[in-house]
A and B are shown apart, each in its own frame.
Chain A
């Protein structure tokens, strides 16, 4: 009876210590949090890395680039997946960025949209896109496509602090907070909402628009082609949205503008000192690069990769 009590008391008093010890540098576990854009690739990399190093444990979660950054600064995660450029405010926090791949944000609409053929034929110009996203609707599809049609466009954006939203806004000359529209949580949620909205328009990361396994767009979702030369039709060199390979090629050679094409980063608080994290990052920048293309991303040029590895030495 007494022994029980003693054990119980000791246990209760020391309980906080167990929690603390769980979080502290357990050398074999790496927690990664942040951008939805990088999440599929992050999963792929951690799976492959585990095959080589069975003792290591990963904890990968998506919640938007901002959440990743905040988690890393607060010490709740080791590595953040980050999908936009840092602001001067954030740079001062002393974080280190490692560019690991490239992708893009693309404007998306629903396959149910009755104007679908016209959208594919004419596309939308940068100015039109700016008017749409920064006003949050009150524009008719007809007026955009020089046709009759009084259906108002409804704009969808991300509600969480998202790299995709920030990158898309940067292309239109603003910030995430400038995009007005219905706010949806997370990239998959946003893709769903757009697919179900007949007159809706939004934006998604390439990885959530194209299905890597089939190479085609996911069911229900379609991409608005960007009319870069403002001649109100989509020319041959502007028409590359058909499948994963064609869009990745266009991102890679610059036919798709940047932004919304962008680098994707892993981010750590200060230069990493933990050997497990360093060797994982090194692997990502060397052998890990072979998985980038297959996962639906654009690999970085060789010189760029070299620069990143030098940051680790």
Chain B
């Protein structure tokens, strides 16, 4: 009886080990599989034109077989940067305030707000952008700076994206700051540092890698967001010269032209290439942030 029992346990052990390994392995393979799939799908286009020519040219006219992704790449990067500059400082300062200064109930309330913000579907953000942000920027903000704008522009996209990436950034930043050992703070304060100096030199230094990771999460979120952006960004194929002009980010290109995939030769391949470009940009971002974190830990 006992022998049987141990044999069973052994097998259970083996199987669960196998399971865990398989699942982990599968997870590791996932990005690789996605990347590979995108490369295979976009191969017809890559086979016909040089990669550098595709990403370096602004000539976008699929009907005539011209696929220049430059405007889309620039549009994507602009809108991501804009949303980052609008949201990152606010999130960082909010996180510092909530974790270091604010009463406990306020932090609890903020967690609730974060959950609500994170739970709102992106199409709702988009509709809200169209109803509120676009008229506001078109009628009031742009004229203040002396520009004429329809309101469907980079800035609208940036604002909507900034608000969408707040819950992700803020949540992680708060976790990072809360996890810093209280002894470090006490040591710094006992040496005569002021509260703000302690935050600046101890908390932010100690939490640097976590903060960078949190900001990276926000950037990735902003880069990949599709429907909310395409509803407010104007979708004009051009390199925007100021934030009150329309742009055309990569995810919007894919979502808008899904319907033309079947009717124009090479189009499906071109859309897959834009997905691949997004994929590459995300990977580059992650390599960059990892390098920053690694440098810091050396």
Contact = CB atoms under 8 A, between A and B. Distances in A.
A123 interface: no
B63 A175 contact: yes
B235 interface: yes
B256 A183 contact: yes
B263 A66 contact: yes
Contacts of B261: 66, 70
A63 interface: yes
Interface stretch (A192-200, A213-221, A240-248, A305-313): A192-200
Given A189-B231, A193-B152, 18 more contacts: A66-B258, A66-B259, A70-B258, A154-B150, A159-B230, A160-B255, A160-B257, A162-B259, A175-B63, A182-B150, A183-B248, A184-B152, A184-B235, A185-B235, A189-B130, A193-B150, A196-B135, A200-B150
The CB with the most chain B CB atoms within 10 A, among A64, A90, A183, is that of A183
A284 interface: no
Given A182-B246, A200-B150, A177 B262 contact: no
Interface in B238-260: 246, 248, 252, 255-260
Contact of B260 (A66, A93, A185): A66
B260 A182 contact: no
Contacts of B263: 66, 69, 87, 89-90
14 contacts: A64-B259, A66-B263, A67-B258, A68-B259, A69-B262, A90-B262, A160-B259, A182-B152, A182-B234, A183-B236, A183-B248, A184-B231, A193-B152, A200-B150
A104 interface: no
A65 B259 CA distance: 7
A63 B262 contact: no
B143 interface: no
Given A177-B63, A182-B246, A67 B230 contact: no
Nearest to B260: A161
A216 B256 CA distance: 31
- Place the interface of chain A in its size category: 35 or more
B62 interface: yes
B285 to A, nearest CB: 26
A89 B256 contact: no
The CB with the most chain A CB atoms within 10 A, among B148, B227, B258, B264, is that of B258
B201 to A, nearest CB: 48
Nearest to B12: A5
B223 to A, nearest CB: 19
Contacts of A64: 259
B264 A159 contact: no
Interface in B50-89: 61-63
Contact of A183 (B130, B138, B235, B265): B235
B19 to A, nearest CB: 10
State the 6 A-B residue pairs at the shortest beta-carbon distance, nearest first: A66-B259, A183-B235, A161-B259, A159-B235, A67-B259, A161-B260
A168 B138 CA distance: 27
A55 to B, nearest CB: 31
Contact of A161 (B134, B148, B257): B257
A189 B134 CA distance: 12
Nearest to B230: A185
Contacts of B248: 183
A63 B259 contact: yes
A70 B265 CA distance: 14
Interface string B140-167: 0000000010101000000000000000
Contacts of B62: 177
Contacts of A175: 63
Interface in B202-241: 227, 230-231, 234-236
Contacts of A172: none
A298 to B, nearest CB: 25
A73 interface: yes
